[in-house]
A and B are shown apart, each in its own frame.
Chain A
Amino acid sequence: MQLARVIGTVVATMKAPNMEGVRLLIVQPLTRRLEPVGQPVVAADALETAGPGELVYIVGAREAAEAMPNRFVPIDHAIVGIVDAVEVAAGGGPVAGQPS
Chain B
Amino acid sequence: MKLARVVGTVVSTIKSPIFDGRALLLVDLLEPDGREAGGYLIAVDTVGAGAGETVLVLDEGTSARQIVGAPYGPLRTVIVGIVDAVEGPAAITSVEPHRTAASTVSAPKRPSRARRPKASAAD
Contact = CB atoms under 8 A, between A and B. Distances in A.
Given A63-B74, A64-B74, A66-B61, A80 B19 contact: yes
Interface of A: 1-3, 31-32, 46-47, 49, 57, 59-64, 66-67, 71, 78, 80-89, 92-93
B12 A66 contact: no
A89 B52 CA distance: 8
Interface size for chain B: under 10, 10 to 19, 20 to 34, or 35 or more residues?
Answer: 20 to 34
Given A71-B72, A92-B51, A1 B77 contact: yes
Contacts, number: 96
Nearest to A67: B74
Interface of B: 6-16, 19, 24, 26, 28, 40-43, 51-52, 61, 72-77
Given A78-B74, A81-B14, A84-B13, 14 more contacts: A32-B8, A57-B12, A59-B74, A66-B73, A66-B74, A66-B75, A82-B13, A82-B14, A82-B15, A83-B12, A86-B26, A89-B6, A89-B51, A92-B7
